[in-house]
Amino acid sequence: MGRRVVGRIILAAAAVLATATSVHASGDAEPAVPAPEPAGPVRILLHGDSVTQGSAGDWTWRYRLWKHLTASGEQVDFVGPRDDLRDGSRAYADATFDRDHAARWGMAGGALDHSVTELMAYVPDVVVDGLGINDLRTATPETAVARAVERVEQARAVDPDVDVVLWRLPQTWRPGVAAYDELVAQAVAALDTPRSRVVLADVATGFDRAVDTYDTLHPSPSGEVKIAAAVADALSSLGVGTPYPRPLVTPVAGPTLLPRLTAARVDAVGTLRVGWTVPEGATGAWVELRDVVRDGPWRRVAAATTLTTASGSATVPGLVAGRRYELRVRALKGTVASGLTSGTAAVAVPPPGRVVAFRAVGRSGSVRLAWTPVARARGYEVWRKADGSWRRVARTQDARLTVRQGRGTARFRVRATSDAPGAWSATRSVRGLSRD
């Protein structure tokens, strides 16, 4: 650990010793030795780009690191000129942490918002430098690492005792990153001195593009935890805090983006129309539906994955006539779904329409029935009234049927069926065989 951090640890230990009292055999206590001035918290400057700054709806890895350090009993003070998310947003998933930082979306080591000399005015004990991925868009890995080395030298020019954490970039699938990570590890080994430590945070190992990012670049909640863990491990090697506990645990799997359902209606032909609004930070939404009648599971039935406004809509055709459903909306950030959903809405699909053009013709001891097929019908029920009461005589999926005629006059009617039946057709009478 560097001289600055070592000095703080010594001061803290001296303060503890100074408050102790020695006890004589008689039990009398000697006056305590005056305690030295407290060392104060370790000041940490988090210097980076969008990965460090985050955007609306994120916890950020800064939050995860802060919670870990404070839980381990370390007194820390994050310092820097900003405390926001992308575009000035302050819509953190949880804003109860020290949010100060020196990171901005899109910033590169070759185009800093503030010079290192200016940032050193915040008097950091440790600089955590996560820049580099944006440099690789236009610069070689060698140039990007040279810029990181220059930032270390500039920090030391202001404070020869400052400690620095550089990291291996986690986006190993991007061009130039593997070479950068190898070179930066070599640079760290060359820069490290007993007076001013430079250590490596191994952010890259175990970082999974499919799980740990929401857009192949920016960290999902699990990615935030992995970055925070790697930085915490590096800081612990400097005497700041403890290593991050393993196995790593992500308390919530997705962003805390709570959408609101604004419309849910089904038209006469079974098409569901859904409207919603999503909070700042959401880039898409899913519509989820469940069959209430059959107590079915929730399933995704529609998605809008490129929202550019806070509101959206979707249509879901082909719902079963007469069936009852519940629906809800879930917000997305990139490919990661929020763990929260809107409230649910219940919708009932209208039953199939009324049978029309119903015909009944008696011939040679039988009755031929026919009608126009009904949209969305899953079948039909044919009923006959004879001897004063209606009875069902058949179920069919065809729009025609032949039944025995019977004696006397009979009346027929038919209705379409699905989860709920449609309206009855007109009644048709057929004179049957003579009773003589």
Q: Please report the DSSP string for 242-301 in residue order.
A: -PPPSS---SSSS-----EEEEEEE-TTS-EEEEEE--TT--EEEEEEEETTTTPPPEEE
pLDDT recorded at residue 10: 52
Q: Let me know if residue 48 belongs to a domain.
A: yes
Query: Residue 19's pLDDT is what?
Result: 44
What pLDDT sits at residue 311?
Answer: 87
**Lookup: tokens for 77:** 């003070």
Q: Indicate the pTM of the whole model.
A: 0.79
Alpha helices in 19-79 (DSSP H): 50-53, 61-71
For residue 250, what pLDDT is reported? 83
Whether residue 132 is contained in a domain is answered as yes
Each of the 436 residues of the chain gets a pLDDT tens digit; together they read 565 555 555 544 444 444 444 434 444 444 555 555 557 999 999 999 999 999 999 999 999 999 999 999 999 999 999 999 999 999 999 999 999 999 999 999 999 999 999 999 999 999 999 999 999 999 999 999 999 999 999 999 999 999 999 999 999 999 999 999 999 999 999 999 999 999 999 999 999 999 999 999 999 999 999 999 999 999 999 999 999 999 999 887 777 888 999 999 999 889 999 999 998 888 889 999 999 989 999 999 999 887 767 889 999 999 999 999 999 999 999 989 988 899 999 999 999 999 999 999 998 889 999 999 999 999 999 999 988 899 999 999 999 999 988 778 899 999 999 999 999 999 999 987 655 4
Contacts of 274 (CB under 8 A, 6+ apart): 261, 263, 264, 287, 302, 313, 314, 315, 316, 327, 329
Q: Which two tokens stand for residue 348?
A: 């009932």
Q: Establish how many alpha carbons lie within 13 A of residue 122's alpha carbon, considering only the half-sphere containing its beta carbon.
A: 24
In a shared domain, residues 61 and 114:
yes
Q: What is the pLDDT of residue 22?
A: 43
Say yes or no: 32 and 116 in one domain.
no
In a domain, 336, yes or no: yes
- Domain residues for the domain of 421 are 359-431
Q: Is the same domain home to 128 and 207?
A: yes
Phi, psi of 85, rounded to the nearest 5 degrees: -105, -170
d(CA 329, CA 224): 25
The number of beta carbons lying within 10 Å of the beta carbon of residue 196 is 19
Q: Is residue 118 domain-shared with residue 222, that is, in the same domain?
A: yes
Domain count, the chain: 4
Residues forming beta bridges with residue 304, ordered by sequence position: 285
Tell me whether residue 176 is in a domain: yes
Q: Is residue 354 part of a domain?
A: no
The 3-class secondary structure across 388-399, one letter per residue, is CEEEEEEEECCC
| Distance in angstroms (rounded) separating the CA atoms of residues 266 and 140 | 56
* Element containing residue 416 per DSSP (H, E): strand 409-417
Nearest Cα neighbor of 289 from 339, 349, 338, 333 is 349
The verdict on 54 and 5 lying in the same domain is: no
